[in-house]
Amino acid sequence: MMSWAQLFNRRQRMMESLDQDIRDFIERETQDNVERGLAPEEARYAALRKFGNVTQVKEETREVWTMVWLEQLWRDIRFGLRMLVTNPGFTAVAVLTLGLGIGVNSTIFSVVSTMLLRKPPVHDPDRLMMLLSRNVGAVGTSDASNHSPVSPPDFIDWRAQATAYSGIAAASSFENEYQVTLSGGEPERVPSAEVSANYFEVLGVSPVLGRGFLPGEDQPGHDHVALLRADLWNQRFGAGPHILGRTVKVNGEAHTVIGVMPEALRRLC
């Protein structure tokens, strides 16, 4: 039993061989006509007339070979289906293996595409870095597992003391943990994050509507404010400007919407 790739390659070789055979026939006939006394150009025309319509011959041959190729392909498909039906255990393993392989490959490609192939939607992505804490006194842990998110006190100290960075901002992602409750509507679970007031300023990203956070709006005791991503704004609020100043609830706490951020930020939050 031949694979599809083998059948395709075989068909390609057959077409190439047909082209070569046609050229060889015309060259031989042309040479014979020259030896009979015809001029080279007239000899070639005579050879072409004897052979007939080259394009038509190729098309007719291709149709015949295509039917043969399709018949072989159909036989392989039927054989494969019979094998799957008569061996349910093998079928289950094969389907599970394919499913896992496709899922893993899709996940890896998504991560690679997001982190390596497509740059983050920020002002200067080549200068963007992620800072993590590392416990230098930990014993028996690898470098990869010895990193953790930065604590709020460390972030405050780093931001106050760092001179090598143009700005340091913080974001705490709570994917699928926050539930936004709309006034008079059904609750909806949406990805969310708590960020420092200078987060979007450091990234160089501006709202598409309204304003960003002001200094001090991330401090305890300040009225809760929120920025929506454009996709949520479109789906739940009809992309209307009336969203500014509207109150929504995040885990039961009232937040005032002050602006709408670009949808591309889903790759950062």
pLDDT digits (tens, 9 = 90+) for 223-269: 889 999 898 888 888 888 889 998 888 877 888 999 999 887 765 55
**Higher pLDDT, residue 238 or 22:** 238
Query: How many angstroms separate the Cα of 154 from the Cα of each of 20, 138, 162?
Result: 75, 18, 11
Reported as a single tens digit per residue, the pLDDT across 90-147 is 777 777 787 777 776 776 666 665 555 556 667 777 778 888 787 766 555 555 556 6
Give the CA dihedral 23, 28, 34, 38, nearest 10 degrees: -60
Give residue 11's pLDDT: 66
Reported as a single tens digit per residue, the pLDDT across 36-82 is 888 888 888 787 777 777 677 777 666 666 666 666 667 777 777 77
- Cα–Cα nearest to 229, from 265, 183, 186: 265
Reported as a single tens digit per residue, the pLDDT across 177-236 is 555 666 646 777 877 888 899 999 988 889 999 999 999 898 888 888 999 989 888 888
Give the CA dihedral 113, 261, 179, 149, nearest 10 degrees: 60
Residues 77-90, mean pLDDT to the nearest whole number = 75
Unique residue bearing structure tokens 């038509």: 56
Query: What is the C-alpha to C-alpha distance for residues 247 and 157, in angstroms, rounded to an integer?
Result: 33
For residue 6, pLDDT over 50 is answered with: yes
Contact status, residue 179 vs residue 187, Cβ threshold 8 Å: yes
Give residue 115's pLDDT: 55
**Higher pLDDT, residue 12 or 111:** 12
Give residue 257's pLDDT: 92
Give residue 165's pLDDT: 85
Binned at pLDDT 50, 70 and 90, residue 34 comes out as confident
User: What residues form DSSP beta bridges with 172?
Assistant: 194
Binned at pLDDT 50, 70 and 90, residue 176 comes out as very low
For residue 173, pLDDT over 80 is answered with: no
Q: Which residues contact 47 (CB under 8 A, 6 or more apart)?
A: 25, 26, 27, 29, 30, 33
What would the two tokens of residue 212 be?
């960003």
Backbone angles phi, psi at 166, to 5 degrees: -75, -20
Residues 154-168, mean pLDDT to the nearest whole number = 86
